[in-house]
Structure 1
């Protein structure tokens, strides 16, 4: 099925979509920073370029858009160019699974947050992230104490 808008208009729309510095990412990261957590954003050196990474505690946070990551609740495949979008989102989902598995196998905590979760209950999402970081902080502290003479 043909696209309803011109190729130039579609290109302009797509180029306006940001992969980093999104409102979702900014809102979560500002609150984590306010709570005293220090991290790096969009770390290219880490596999899958996590939105937020705390290397010290081996925590990576991915803030996933319902559209681009294929949320089971909200994602609807566009009717125009169906095959393209279906394949694109399936590749994204497969990559998300690969990235999550990679970090789990390397002893990292992986936190994946859907954009609808942030919109529906921001405080619960940030508290969940904070609890995961605190648990990792304790793990690191206990691990370091185990190795001291």
Structure 2
């Protein structure tokens, strides 16, 4: 089980990289695998600090995608509980970040990267239009 967990990447997955390439090409700058909030020990895949937007690209298996999530064949009880805990942590993370004024974008790994990039771009631009411009910080 340990080997399975170690073989999975925490960052730079193919779906995440596809989205990052697209939003970077559109001129957006962001932090990768970063804590949106210093008070919360959770990391987002893509963070726009000034816009206060945290993006999570969730894996279908690890986060229990209703369309593509699968049931483990061996040690099914453990994996079912693990995925349940992941989903509960995701919901708690969203709630805590929203309480701090963050906008959350959660997407599944199977979603079209272009559509995801469009959504992120629109959210970041809308956030910048809501804020007075006072600095040249990236994002």
For this structure pair, what is the TM-score category when the shorter chain's length is used for normalisation? 0.7 to 0.9
Bigger helix fraction: 1
TM alignment of 1:43-122, pairs within 5 A: 43-44=34-35, 46=37, 47=40, 48-117=42-111, 121-122=112-113
Unaligned stretches of 5+ residues in structure 1: 1-9, 145-149
8 Å contact kept, 1:109–1:136? no
Aligned residue pairs, count: 131
Counterpart residue number, 1:40? 31
The alignment yields a C-alpha RMSD, in angstroms, of 1.7
Counterpart residue number, 2:132? 141
Residue 27 of structure 1 and its aligned partner are, at CA, apart by: 1.3
Greater length-normalized contact order (CA 8 Å, ≥ 6 residues apart):
2
| 1:105 to 1:45, Cα distance in 2 relative to 1, 3 A | closer
Query: TM-score when scaled to structure 1?
Result: 0.81
- The structure 1 segments of at least 4 consecutive aligned residues displaced by more than 2 Å after TM superposition are 10-15, 44-47
Unaligned stretches of 5+ residues in structure 2: 135-139
2:78 & 2:4 partners in 1: Cα distance? Answer: 17
Query: TM-score when scaled to structure 2?
Result: 0.86
Based on CA coordinates, which of the two structures has the bigger radius of gyration? 1
